Structure 1
Amino acid sequence: MGELETCLAVLYKRKGKNILTEAEFQFAVSLDFRWFTPQEAQRLMDLSIKQGLLARTDTYLKPTFDYKDVEAPLSFRPSKDVLTGEKEEISVFAELVQLITSKGGLKKRESVARINKVQERLGVDAEVAALIVARDLAVDITDYIEPVKREIL
């Protein structure tokens, strides 16, 4: 999970709302939390929309992911690097967890818990355990077999 996603999750959790107006978003980021300047808050909002983490509907902004499942320390403060817009490389394991949650119908925590159980029971790498969990849920894992091989060998 990237810093941008964590930043948005913390923002919406602390505000206690599922949707914010653009003005509320910018006010919270720049004045309430003092994370960024108003111009940087605008850039954060634009970047979040561009990367598909926020959806704009009329005058409201709503996260496109389940921000309540994102965990961050109470002292969380985003770095300025979050404004660069460079996508972080997503690990094969993270992709598999996303695949299991989206196609397998499990919540992220449940997915990771199942993967951990399989990993412990079989003594395999986390990526291999994720493939097994996905297969057990009838999720197509064909595109992930080679990347997992490269990851573990």
Structure 2
Amino acid sequence: MSLRVAVAAPFVQHGTSRLEESEFVVSLSLDRDWFSPDQAKRLIDIAAQEGLLEHDDGDVVAAFDHAEVTIPESFAPDEDLLRERSAFERVLDALVAEGVEKHEAVGAINSLQGELGVTIEVAAVVYARREGLEVAELVPMAREALLSDAASE
């Protein structure tokens, strides 16, 4: 997942799992020239929402083992990382990271959506749980999508 790679890069560069927020921003914006400083700060927010980073007294702390992440030489993150992803997208990424074929997961989620008559987000969470993937942090997001969909009808 490219978000994990982009977030891991500053920690790998500095050989630590804790950085001052400014060091993290400089690493992504000046050292690597991947993002502007404002975009790097946005990435921190997105990564925190996704559980990859934690804030602690002005520092950002990796909430995953950054040392296990390989950063390819030619890697350059896409600006799409800076947009908030839906529960469906997050579940799909988690399933793919666990070895499930993307097209297989999408097909099964779509079938489940039709079968249950729910939103794609809810179907994705149900499918992931059936596959043994822990996605409890995405349940509120899926519930919100379901309620929003119901209110618009």
For the criterion TM > 0.5, the same-fold answer is yes
- % identical equivalent positions: 33
For 1:143, the equivalent position in structure 2 comes to 130
Structure 1: runs of 5+ lacking an equivalent: 98-141, 146-153
Aligned ranges 1:4-153 → 2 under 5 Å: 4-86=3-85, 87-88=89-90, 89-90=92-93, 92=95, 94-95=97-98, 143-144=130-131
RMSD: 2.3
How much does 1:85 deviate? Answer: 2.3
Can you list the C-alpha shifts for 1:64-94, whole angstroms capped at 9, x where unaligned? 1111111231222211111112144136464
- Residue type of the alignment partner of 2:43: L
How much does 1:33 deviate? Answer: 1.0
Structure 2 CA distance for aligned equivalents of residues 21 and 29 of structure 1 = 13
Structure 1 CA distance for aligned equivalents of residues 40 and 5 of structure 2 = 15
Structure 2 CA distance for aligned equivalents of residues 45 and 91 of structure 1 = 19
How much does 1:38 deviate? Answer: 1.1
Question: TM-score w.r.t. structure 2 length?
Answer: 0.57
Q: Secondary structure at the match of 1:56?
A: strand
Structure 2: runs of 5+ lacking an equivalent: 101-128, 133-153
Structure 2 CA distance for aligned equivalents of residues 96 and 75 of structure 1 = 24
Q: Secondary structure at the match of 2:61?
A: strand
- The answer to whether the 8 Å contact 2:9/2:71 transfers is yes
Can you list the C-alpha shifts for 1:11-69, whole angstroms capped at 9, x where unaligned? 21122222111111111111111111111111011111111100111111111111111
